[in-house]
Amino acid sequence: MRTSLIMVAGALALVGAISQASGATAAGAAPRSGIPARCSTSFNPYQASASLLRSCGDRVLRLKHVTALPGGGDAYDYGDYTVLVPPRHFNPLEASDMRLREYGMPTRKQMGSGWRVLMRHYRYAEAPTPFLVEDPHVRASAPRPKAILSPQACLPPSCSGNWTGYSISNPTPLGEVTADWTEPHFISQGSGDEFAQWVGIGGQTSPTDLGQDGTFFNVPTFKAHQGFIETISNNSGPPVAASIDPAAGDSFFASTLWDSSNSWFSYLMMDNTTGAFYAAHSRVVTADQTTAEVISEAPTNNGAITQLSDFQKVPVTNATAYFAGRPFPFASSALTSHSITMEDASGIVMADPGTLFSDSHFTTTWGACK
């Protein structure tokens, strides 16, 4: 949304107003028994009341305070996450690396030749929201081995019951993973089908520690194509709705970065088509830096893997991992890449990533819903 940025004083006043109106707290999510029918549908949580979200069992993370940044932007602290907002007329192409880091943006040194290609798309930062919405019933989670009904040729880690895409592993700790994809056009299948597309660090060798960000489709209490961020630490951490929502067909960029100096995950998403930008970082957590992923997923809802929405195809480009201060394409000989096919228990392919080409692009294709 192209709204003006909330001023510090106004944002803090809004905190009190929302708290008084809704009585929402950051804990004690309501159970899902007897919830309103709307709670099982996809909608923009930032256009809903906090009381409705609470009745859906969502957790409302209220804005605690706003800190003015040296370069003129602001940091919005919601407790578990901090959203970084550049000043209104910020131009990253003219900014120093110090200012770029201040707003959670990649530096020229980090991305190399790809930096200008990405940052020239920047047009505006998404306006911060008066609270963040976390759904403890949904997870874009670690890979689940597919159930085996009979001997199959495709076994984990080459196959998964909920993941498809590519992961890479490396003995040197991985610091960041980035990718661009085309946000898919979906074919409606009715209720119960869901989809997530994301980049992340961790989750393969240590399923309890994973940082990831991307987009959801048809997930209850999230808007269709809504961005999300998720930090799973010690096997805990539901997804949070981000105030960025690309349209089907838009080119979309996502980055997950492990900030070793602060011990938190930094997330950045940009709609390359509209120029919308969103950046945030997590609370202090631990990380598994041995793997990085670019994944299409059937999310987990109330502990069960959902039906996979018919996304047709997701073209992914520029899948890149960063370590030792350098970018390495997923197809680089310096990395070990793993193709992951999503299969059901009987061996039916639900989605397949196809070939990883030398320029690190691949196309994930939908096959079946379960």
What DSSP string runs through 34-46? T--GGGGS---GG
Residue 205, pLDDT score: 66
Residue 26, pLDDT score: 33
Q: Are 78 and 25 in contact (CB under 8 A)?
A: no
65 is written with which tokens?
A: 């305070």
Closest Cα partner for 5 from 65, 89, 61?
89
**What Cα–Cα distance (Å) separates residue 232 from each residue in 13, 160, 217, 229, 236?**
31, 19, 20, 10, 5
Residue 253, pLDDT score: 98
Is 50 exceeded by the pLDDT of residue 49? Answer: yes
Q: Are 260 and 172 in contact (CB under 8 A)?
A: no
Show the CA angle centred on residue 278, arms to residues 196 and 10, nearest 5°: 125
Of the two residues 369 and 225, the one the predictor is more confident about is 225
Residue 359 identity (one-letter amino acid): D
Closest Cα partner for 40 from 28, 50, 52?
52
Residue 105, pLDDT score: 95
149 is written with which tokens?
A: 């009904």
Mean of pLDDT values over 71-75: 96
Element (H, E) at 53: helix 50-55
13 is written with which tokens?
A: 């006043």
Residue 238, pLDDT score: 92
CB atoms within 10 A of CB 370: 16
CB atoms within 10 A of CB 359: 11
Is 90 exceeded by the pLDDT of residue 165? Answer: yes
pLDDT class of 148 with cuts at 50, 70, 90 = low
Kindly report whether the global pTM for this prediction surpasses the value 0.85. Answer: yes
Strands (E), 183-275: 193-202, 210-217, 227-232, 240-241, 251-259, 264-271
In the block, tokens 């131009």 appear at 91
Q: In this predicted structure, which of 15-24, 58-67, 81-90, 126-135 has the lowest mean pLDDT?
A: 15-24
The domain made up of 1-370 has a fold known as: Jelly Rolls (2.60.120)
